[in-house]
Amino acid sequence: MQDGRFIDANDAFLKLSKWQRKDIIGRTTQELNIYKFDNREKFLERLLKRQITQGEENKFVNSLGEEFDVASFYEMIDIGGQPCILSMFHDRTEQKQAQEAIRFNEEKLRAIIDHTQNIYYSHNADHILTYMSGQTKNILGYEANEALINWKNFLTDHPINQRGLLLTQRAIDTGEAQEPYVLELKAKDGHRVWVEVRETPIVRDGKTVSIVGVLIDITERKEAEERMERQLAELTVLHAVATASSQSNSEDEVIGNATQIIGGILYPDNCGILMLNQEGTMLKPHKSYRGSSLEMINEAFPITKGITGKVAASGHPIRINDISTEPAYIEDAAGICSELCVPIRVNEHIIGVLNAESRKLNGFDEEDERVMNTLAGTLGTAIERIRLFKAEQNGRKQAE
């Protein structure tokens, strides 16, 4: 041990070093340039004090001058009363190459993932996200590491999300992949994002340890579908109201049928018609008004009050995106956030208003206003027809 000369070497060492046994016995590692110690005395001191980490990585040079990585192990032994060092080396070349290949493939895969149009993710059985790919920034507005939270925090209050919660929990509980599903998520800036979710559980020892999957941004497709559905609903309502109005024989019937159709299909939260009195000073909800209390329906309001009063007085539509900012709003139904009101005219004279309210902020847009104005025009025409018919009947009776 004192001078560090080789006493013996097994066949595995000879194969690793590519030396012949006769060429190394009696020589030192320094002479053979096999293994270099910066300070042999310090190495021996650390070895005696058991301060050397077994399996630490070092460079090894064979007889051909080829350098590669080895894991080194040392043990103090006694041979013939002399202390010696038993050295063992494990070639880590293949392991290092495999690790490098894995690292390269991971980087390559990461580059591919980060440049796709989808979000790749994983979360544990407690629903905490453990990985989010680079597209998280483009789709949801969050940095990938910023999004490593409970994925449920991204969900909106849309009812469709309940199915996703159910299917993910079922995948965790059963360890079986479920069918794809759709979620509505809330981005960092508050806008809504639609995604299609495809995922599968990772199971170890019969227990689900994580869920891995992909989020496909289908916002444009979903919005296009919703536009088509909305246009279909609007056309259905316009046609139904026009048909019902042409077949109705009284103002009450016209208003009741229209309210049922409009409120049932387009604006279910709160919808109805308020009619002006003959003096044009008071508005009273028609008995068919949907979403209001009976007390409110039985009450008349001066046109100096409320959004509906403003519309009746001015003859101009009013669209309020957030009623909390409008002092004139008269609260009736709970949870209302926005309102749209348009005038109803007969012969250019305002006879009432068509009003709709929503429990969503920004619940109405220009398209809603256009549809409501068209409906108000249809109602005005129908009411005018009925009034003219009644006037004609009364005229005939008087003539008789």
The full DSSP string for 180-227 is -EEEEEE-TTS-EEEEEEEEEEEEETTEEEEEEEEEEE-HHHHHHHHH
Q: Which residues contact 114 (CB under 8 A, 6 or more apart)?
A: 133, 134, 135
Task: Write down the pLDDT at residue 106.
Answer: 64
* Pairwise CA distance, residues 299 & 149, whole Å: 51
45 three-class SS: helix
Residues of the chain with CATH 3.30.450.20: 11-95, 116-217
Sign of the C-alpha dihedral, residues 112, 115, 116, 118?
positive
Half-sphere exposure of 216 (CA within 13 A, CB side): 10
Helix (H) or strand (E) run with residue 302 in it: strand 301-302
Q: Which of these, 92, 51, 56, lies nearest to 72 by C-alpha position?
A: 56
* Pairwise CA distance, residues 398 & 68, whole Å: 117
Which CATH topology does 116-217 take?
Beta-Lactamase (3.30.450)
Which CATH topology does 11-95 take?
Beta-Lactamase (3.30.450)
Task: Write down the pLDDT at residue 99.
Answer: 75
Please say whether the beta carbons of 91 and 178 come within 8 A: no
Q: Which of these, 279, 287, 326, lies nearest to 303 by C-alpha position?
A: 279
Q: Supply the pTM of this predicted model.
A: 0.58
**Which contacts of 274-279 are long-range, i.e. CB under 8 A and separated by 24 or more positions?**
274/301, 274/308, 274/312, 274/352, 274/353, 274/355, 275/351, 275/352, 276/303, 276/312, 276/350, 276/351, 276/352
Task: Write down the pLDDT at residue 353.
Answer: 97
CATH superfamily of 222-399: GAF domain (3.30.450.40)
Q: pLDDT per position in the chain (400 positions), as tens? A: 557 788 888 988 888 888 898 888 888 877 888 776 666 777 777 777 777 778 788 888 888 888 888 888 888 888 888 888 888 888 887 877 777 776 766 666 666 556 678 999 999 999 999 999 889 999 999 998 999 999 999 999 999 999 999 999 999 999 999 999 999 999 999 999 999 999 999 999 999 999 999 999 999 998 898 889 989 999 999 999 999 988 888 999 999 999 999 999 999 999 999 999 999 999 999 999 999 888 888 999 999 999 999 999 999 999 999 999 999 999 888 899 999 999 999 988 999 999 999 999 999 999 999 999 999 999 999 999 988 888 777 777 776 6
Task: Write down the pLDDT at residue 114.
Answer: 65
Q: Which of these, 271, 363, 369, lies nearest to 321 by C-alpha position?
A: 363
Q: Which residues contact 122 (CB under 8 A, 6 or more apart)?
A: 129, 130, 131, 202, 210, 211, 212, 213
Task: Write down the pLDDT at residue 119.
Answer: 92
Token pair recorded at residue 384: 């005018």
Task: Write down the pLDDT at residue 128.
Answer: 96
